[in-house]
Amino acid sequence: MKERNRKYDVIIIGGGIGGLTCGNYLVRDGKKVLIIEHNSQVGGNMSGIRRKGFFFDCGDQSTESVGILFPILEELGLYDPQEWFQAKWRMVTEDMDVPLDSFDQIRAEFERFFPNSKSDIRKWFDFLESGCMMFKDIMESQPFPLAVSGKEKYRALANMFKRGFSLTDKAREAVSKTGTQKCREIFSDPRLAFIFGEFGYPNMLLFMFFSFWYCFLYDYWHPKGGLQEILNKMAASFQEKGGTLILRDTVDKILTKGSSVWGVENSSGERYFADKVVNTGNVKRLYSEMLDRSLIPYKLQETIRYAPVTKAVSSAFLGVDISDEELQKHMGRHHVLYWRTYSEPYDIYDPEIHRKGWSQINWTSMRDKSLAPEGMNSIVIQTFTPYDWMCGWQTSSQDPCARTEPYYALKERVLEDMIKDTEAVIPDLSKRTVYRELGTPRSLSRFTLNPEGATAGWSYDIYRIFMYPRFGMFKTPVRNLFLAGHYSIWPGGVVFSALSGKIVARGLYEGFKKAICF
């Protein structure tokens, strides 16, 4: 067993956006900080890869700011608006093709494709637009209250309540009903009920539909160099200010004395010591494998063990010999939501699950031509496919590193099918593909250690998630062991992971009541 001589003020486990945000704030305040990252690069679910000259975002394909992310990056000296491009959207089914530009335009397009449902469409968009515009007004008038501090926080909070007060009835419904329920109440055409009610994660709160549509129209962004570049800049800033970053190092054990933390131990038996430890990764693994379980109340252990996480995706990474002009004709947008069927893929024993529901087609190199060889383009196609699908992707194992010949055969079939299905949007795609690779939920879990290949932390299903309506879970039963990242905050995702990093960096030394209280 090897022991590092150097002692740190804080050790952060995980180099995703939550860990890097937390680390940057801490080193800015003069703390001695170590970030330990399992993968060969920082990024977590925001990681990207370059293959044969093509760059691909591996998990998240773009991100919103919602008055949180950009102010945090700006506060850290890492925000340049010239480096961010707005990522526009388009929705496609066999019955319709609608670019998402404005509510008036979208209403008119849907009424044209579904003339017998005009009154239902108007009713839905009357409800949706009012909530979305309230959201837009709040987001664009000031930063999110928890993204700022002092008097600015109170002003932002007061303004949020003032602007939301006029929509009290809608707000009450939005936090007590799912989007699926609302759409089934409004639409008699099951196709429209499905398109508008099932486009995201199962049983999402109606309130989240306001935020999704706000982002679709006004607030989805893709940075120059891909999302990985933003994380690389955060890592460089952290190190320039004196932080220590170690890659390809997996923390397997939290070291404790009594009920207090005093360091961590990696898979090689090396030990690093600190007064405080922040875990930004898999809380299930933290409580079941990394900690002395006698320190964790049994009820909490079982709650975390069975708490569902967000659905997993398979990602097809395609380098294509298609020019900008031709791809513009077929894609037209950075993101295309393509519904292949009007049925949601729920049965993990269904061998065709990867061909049902919607897929997301992402033109990664649309605005930054350095992300693909000259005259070519990078495309990522994503579709929901469970971690345990087809007997654990034909591995018969829960181990994300398990690989078998049937696993590779299934990967190849899924990749072929995803490319073939996408030819409804991009004709002859299979013939124009010069590089192809599939990342499965098992791939994501292998590189990030996220349980079951989770895409955004805990499930958004309000009937199942233990975090709802709890906002954050930053403390643990172990003294001086804290949580940040996807699994510390609800609803998780890129933006709230970054927010959790800021909250925890402040809460470690000023107290969490001061860090998050209104």
What pLDDT, on the 0 to 100 scale, is given for residue 161? Answer: 54
Q: What are the structural domain ranges in the chain?
A: 3-51+61-82+224-307+455-516, 104-206, 313-453
- Residue 497 DSSP code: H
**CB 113, CB 191: distance < 8 Å:** no
Instruction: Note the pLDDT of residue 149.
Output: 64
The answer to whether residues 337 and 89 touch, using CB atoms and an 8 Å cutoff, is yes
Answer for the pair 337, 360: CB distance below 8 angstroms, yes or no: yes
> Of the candidates 359, 309, 386, which has an alpha carbon nearest to the alpha carbon of residue 199?
359
Handedness of CA 349, 354, 358, 360 (dihedral sign): positive
**Torsional class of 377: left (φ above 0), alpha (ψ -120 to 50), beta (otherwise):** beta
Span 35-89, pLDDT tens digits: 999 999 999 999 999 999 999 999 999 999 998 999 999 999 999 999 999 999 9
Residue type, 62: S
- What fold, for 3-51+61-82+224-307+455-516? FAD/NAD(P)-binding domain (3.50.50)
The residue ranges of the chain whose pLDDT is under 70 are: 1-5, 139-169, 345-346, 468-469, 517-518
| Cα separations in angstroms, 62 against 45, 79, 221, 318, 362 | 11, 16, 5, 17, 9
492: left (phi over 0), alpha (psi -120 to 50) or beta: left
Per-residue model confidence as pLDDT tens digits over 340-382 = 998 876 677 899 999 998 999 999 999 999 999 999 999 999 9
DSSP letter (8 states) at residue 376: -
221 in Cβ contact with 494 (< 8 Å): no
* Cα–Cα distance measured from residue 234 to residue 41, given in angstroms and rounded to the nearest whole number: 12
- Beta pairing partners, 121: none
Q: What is the pLDDT of residue 240?
A: 98
- The residue whose two tokens read 């033109």 is 363
The residue assigned the tokens 């891909």 is 226
